[in-house]
A and B are shown apart, each in its own frame.
Chain A
Amino acid sequence: MFYIYCPYCGEHREEEEFHPKGQAHIERPKEPEACSDEEWGDYLFFRDNPRGVHHEMWVHAVGCRKFFNVTRHTVSYEILETYKMGEQPSITADSQSQAREGAAVSQQEGVRA
């Protein structure tokens, strides 16, 4: 039992009201006829399976029935942020590793001092 923040309802709701719907930010090729088989196959079948920060689509199935995006850590299952369709994440794998490096540097400096 945990709560997920629905960006459309504007509040935290029970996880039971939601369904995950796979990887987010997948764009259908604008001209499918111009795609190579490999590009089309990638679009249709191949998905990221990262260890760490991942962007997924979820649907508030029992509430407002809107789709939205979730940035989730696949190891800790922690939900880092949720945001509306059409928006870009503010937390990514890059931003996380930069933050970690920054923290490591300040720790080392702390040791030296």
Chain B
Amino acid sequence: MSNAATFDTRTDTAIPVESPLAYSYRRSGAPQAGGPSRLQLRERAMLGHLILRGGAIVLDEAVRDVLGISLPGQPQALVQDASGERSIQWLSPDEWLVIVPGGEEFPLETKLREQLGSAHFAISDVSGGQTLLELSGEAARELLMKTVIYDVHPSNFPVGKGVTTVFAKATTILRRPSDERWELVVRRSFADYCYRWLLDAGAEFGINVQQ
């Protein structure tokens, strides 16, 4: 067990907790499509986000034991468990993003630290620093085509891929967990900007925000 000081960021104390978009919902609202919509936007707030850094072989062994998913070794790869609730994404040759249901991140971090022992690694809980936005509907790719500089054509962006790229001048992680869904991981400080961009860019498709 390493001697790193850790703490659970979710306490039992009754502190009001708000998603990074709480202010945006109040200020910009959450547009509802009148009829059938070609584009849905949903925030998956308060998930657990962990950044793993270290050697791929050591980390792979640990996450397979603890999480039951193998670490994606290929660049731009995204893997999920059978439920789709837990995922690991390659960010860099020595860096991965793990997303789990909210509340699971601290027990996961603790177990990984136990498993990894004195290996050379780092785990950072970044749950409070970013949020996940989910785009679905037939117009999702059209919206991305005018927003990101990365080629989102299915031949270049198959299911199971994820990249860090530029989204409307902000740095964003873009990933495709399934055929009809796209996910954006945005920084808390950029969440309002990205949200308002999505509302504006999605207006022509009749964007429907689900809360």
Is there a chain B Cβ closer than 8 Å to A73's Cβ? Answer: no
- Whether A63 lies near B165 (C-beta < 8 A) is yes
Which of chain A's residues have a CB closer than 8 A to the CB of B164? 62-64
Q: What residues make up the interface of A, taking CB atoms closer than 8 Å to B?
A: 8-11, 13-14, 16-17, 62-66
B5-19: contact bitstring with A at CB < 8 Å (1 yes, 0 no)? 000000000000000
A9 with B75: in contact, given A16-B149, A66-B92 (CB under 8 Å)? yes
When distances are taken between beta carbons in the complex, the residues of chain A under 8 Å from B75 are 8-11, 64
Interface residues of B, count at CB 8 A: 13
Given A8-B75, A16-B149, are A66 and B93 also a contact pair (CB < 8 Å)? yes
Please tell me if the beta carbons of B165 and A64 are within 8 angstroms of each other in the complex.
no
Which residue of chain A has its CB nearest to the CB of B169? A16
A64 to B91, CA, bound (A): 6
Closest chain A residue, CB of each to CB of B171: A62
Q: List 7 A-B contacts (CB under 8 A).
A: A9-B163, A10-B75, A10-B76, A11-B76, A13-B150, A64-B91, A65-B92
> What is the distance, in angstroms, from A29's C-beta to the closest C-beta of chain B?
28
Query: How would residues 61 to 81 of chain B score, 1 for a CB under 8 Å from any chain A CB and 0 otherwise?
Result: 000000000000001100000
Residues of B with C-beta under 8 A to A9:
75-76, 163
Q: Assuming the A-B contacts A62-B166, A63-B165, are A8 and B92 also in contact, with contact meaning beta carbons closer than 8 angstroms in the complex?
A: yes
Contacts of B166 in A (CB 8 A): 14, 16-17, 62
| CB proximity of B83 to chain A, nearest CB, Å | 28
Closest CB in chain A relative to B181 CB, distance in Å: 22
Chain A positions within 8 Å of B171 at CB level: 62
